[in-house]
């Protein structure tokens, strides 16, 4: 990625280039090509996914989703132009914080993200890589949901997916199971895991380890009295191992968080 200036508006922008260093090489004319025959197929698949991300984000307009201003294919690769925002990832923020995030701050971040995720799901899409590293906290603005490179159509089966993304601690169990069908509840597992990371300061036990029998104690048990009962219930509910035991939609979770925030405000 490169920081640049839009000569038409004089605004700072980010230029994101598809250049996977393990798969590609740059020629003297700045064109990008697969390193060799063995990486050509993966390079082309990745380029297709990069183009998909740019085209999807260019069509989505939400204040909490990173905005692609433009994109183009050139030099045998793809460039997308994104608006530049000052801030840091939630992952970096938690490392600096070194203590549990306050409930007020946690709710403000995830109410905004769930509203954005509702729009993504309403368009028949799944993000499939929600984690603190893909949540960007802007200075004096709400958070941004980043990196839609893993986005797929709802109900798309495993054999059709390109580059299955699995982030241990945040990806749901079905994301690494062959032929598993995924839906909005798959993203909600990652939302719950990201919320839990805000409390604990580190990723939760991975779904893979949980499937092997490693226990993840419920937040409602570990943090009772330190956070509201409903918030802890939401985190545990989103992180249920069985897809069908999780909330059905981002809107369902969003309404609960907004309701509780409203009740707390009224009580104060």
Q: Which of 61, 70, 115, 129 is catalytic?
A: 129
Q: Residue 38 pLDDT more than 60?
A: yes
- The domain boundary residue, chosen from 51, 83, 115: 83
Q: Residue 263 pLDDT more than 60?
A: no
Other C-beta atoms within 10 Å of 131: how many? 23
pLDDT confidence of residue 224: 96
Give yes or no: residues 190 and 59 share one domain: no
Query: How many structural domains compose the chain?
Result: 2
pLDDT confidence bin for 49, thresholds 50/70/90: confident
**Calpha distance 115→63 (Å, rounded):** 10
Give yes or no: residues 136 and 197 share one domain: yes
Return all residues near 67 (Cβ < 8 A) that are at least 6 apart: 57, 61, 82, 83
Give yes or no: residues 127 and 257 share one domain: yes
Q: pLDDT (tens digit, 9 = 90+) per residue, 223-239?
A: 999 999 999 999 999 99
Q: Phi and psi (nearest 5°) for 165? A: -95, 125
Q: Tell me whether residue 70 is one of the annotated catalytic residues.
A: no
Averaged over 3-13, what is the pLDDT? 88
**Calpha distance 42→197 (Å, rounded):** 32
Return all residues near 39 (Cβ < 8 A) that are at least 6 apart: 22, 23, 24
- The domain boundary residue, chosen from 83, 104, 122: 83
Q: The domain spanning residue 243 has which CATH number?
A: 1.10.510.10
Q: Residue 215 pLDDT more than 80?
A: yes
pLDDT confidence of residue 157: 42
Give yes or no: residues 73 and 136 share one domain: no
Asked if residue 142 lies in contact with residue 87, where contact means CB atoms within 8 angstroms, the answer is no
pLDDT confidence of residue 156: 46
pTM value is: 0.85
**Domain of 179?**
88-267
**Calpha distance 78→89 (Å, rounded):** 24
Half-sphere exposure of 117 (CA within 13 A, CB side): 32
Give yes or no: residues 77 and 93 share one domain: no
- The domain boundary residue, chosen from 57, 83, 109: 83
Closest to 231 (Cα-Cα) out of 131, 64, 104, 89: 104
Of the listed ranges 102-116, 146-160, 203-217, the least confidently predicted one is 146-160
């Amino acid at each position: 990625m490169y920081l640049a200036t839009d000569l038409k508006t004089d605004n700072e922008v980010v230029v994101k280039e598809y250049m996977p260093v393990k798969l590609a090489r740059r020629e003297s004319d700045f064109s990008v090509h697969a390193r060799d025959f063995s990486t050509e197929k993966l390079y082309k698949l990745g380029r297709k996914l990069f183009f998909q991300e740019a085209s999807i984000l260019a069509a989505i307009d939400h204040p909490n989703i990173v905005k692609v201003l433009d994109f183009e294919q050139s030099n045998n690769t793809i460039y997308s132009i994104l608006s530049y925002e000052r801030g840091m990832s939630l992952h970096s923020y938690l490392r600096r914080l070194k203590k549990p995030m306050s409930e007020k701050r946690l709710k403000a971040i995830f109410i905004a993200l769930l509203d954005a995720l509702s729009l993504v799901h309403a368009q028949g899409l799944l993000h499939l890589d929600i984690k603190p590293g893909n949540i960007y906290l802007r200075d004096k603005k709400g958070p941004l949901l980043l990196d839609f490179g893993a986005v797929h159509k709802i109900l798309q089966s495993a054999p059709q997916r390109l580059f299955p993304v699995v982030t241990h601690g945040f990806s749901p169990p079905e994301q690494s199971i062959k032929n598993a069908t995924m839906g909005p509840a798959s993203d909600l597992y990652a939302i719950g895991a990201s919320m839990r990371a805000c409390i604990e300061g580190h990723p939760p036990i991975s779904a893979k380890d949980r499937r092997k029998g490693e226990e993840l104690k419920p937040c409602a048990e570990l943090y009772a009295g330190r956070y509201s009962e409903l918030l802890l219930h939401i985190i545990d509910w989103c992180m249920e191992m069985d897809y069908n035991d999780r909330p059905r939609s981002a809107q369902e979770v969003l309404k609960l968080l907004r309701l509780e925030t409203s009740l707390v405000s009224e009580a104060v």
